[in-house]
Amino acid sequence: MSWLVSLPCTRDEAEALSGEVPALDALPDAPVVATREIDEAAGQWQLDAYVETPPSAALVETLRALIPSARSAAPTVEELPEEDWVTLSQQGLRPVQAGRFFVHTSSHADHVPSGVVAFQIDASQAFGTGGHDTTAGCLAMLDRLARRGAAPRNIADIGTGTGLLAFAALHLWPRARVIASDIDPASIFVTRDNAVINAVPLGRGGGQLALAVAAGTDHPAIRHRAPFDLVIANILAGPLITLAPDIAASTAPGGHAILAGLIARQMEAVLAAYRAQGFRLAARGGSADWPCLLLAKRRRYGFRRKERAFHRSDPADASFGSW
């Protein structure tokens, strides 16, 4: 990529561009997009879009539509030296420390403090570098859960993005079986590459990470491994609510779910969906704007009908997109 298009934006607009953006993905010259804070005191943010060819008028108009505050702003267009966009895009991503975890890009690999668990996650097509409040909140909540003495042996990271949260879970509970899934195949390839960079073992056994392309929990490997002691879902409020019955069915009684990707005003709706499925709120973390919820699934006592079994007699623990 050798062209950079920059436009001013607000913090809210920058946050809204943290996940998948179908309008950009549909463009022939689909860009890699990064947002960064320019002036904290003034609340100034900037959107940077990197493309391989001179930016088209359609690209600029799409960017303006996504950030209404910049509709009248003239974009800054710059041709970059070969591969310079990589360095520039990483410079905007500062290291993040959450709990015992320190997440950094390759440009900060020489500045890792002692006494932390470090993961190198570079900007990519997948969401979840650690710089967003939702991801940092999940890392802190995982650390908090471990310090409470929790010891899950079967873990699922639904909507894994870059794989970061699955890596952190596997570090905290190194004997656990962990599976990470995402609806976007590109995310699974990014996660596989990140696993190699961070020396995370891939596989299907204890102490290994299995990968799967899946919409929510809809995958043979996920169904076979369920119920889970811990389910992590850092996605968006809408999908979280839609997936509430599936995540509940995939969580063992007494198990936990860590939910993030929602904003503060959506929290009660998400909680209502999961309370209806037998969860209770065990803890709230994250930031004021981006809460991270730790839910516990209530245990059931006395007579009850047998729950639907997920296991099959001879299940395939993988299919296309699984590792």
Residue 88: both structure tokens together = 């520039």
d(CA 227, CA 207): 18
Give the tens place of pLDDT for each residue, 68-93.
Answer: 998 888 899 988 765 544 444 444 45
Residue 201: both structure tokens together = 């073992």
182 in a known ligand binding site: yes
To the nearest whole percent, how much of the chain has pLDDT over 70? 84
Q: Which domain holds residue 72?
A: 3-85
When pLDDT is averaged across residues 188-202 and rounded to a whole number, the result is 94
* pTM more than 0.85: no
Q: Is the residue at 102 inside a domain?
A: no
CB 179 within 8 A of CB 158: no
| Closest C-alpha among 319, 18, 292, 294 to residue 179 | 319
Other beta carbons within 10 Å of 211: 27
Phi-psi region of 160 (alpha: psi -120 to 50; beta: other; left: phi over 0): alpha
135 in a known ligand binding site: yes
pLDDT tier at 127 (50, 70, 90 boundaries)? Answer: low
> Three-class SS of residue 287?
coil
122 in a known ligand binding site: no
Q: Is the residue at 48 inside a domain?
A: yes
| Closest C-alpha among 313, 44, 18 to residue 162 | 18
When pLDDT is averaged across residues 261-273 and rounded to a whole number, the result is 94
Give the tens place of pLDDT for each residue, 162-183.
Answer: 899 999 999 999 999 999 999 8
Give the tens place of pLDDT for each residue, 239-249.
Answer: 999 999 999 99
Residue that finishes a domain, picked among 85, 114, 146: 85
CB 63 within 8 A of CB 23: no
d(CA 237, CA 214): 18
**Number of independent structural domains in the chain:** 2
Do 151 and 20 share a structural domain?
no
- Give the CATH number of the domain where residue 171 resides: 3.40.50.150
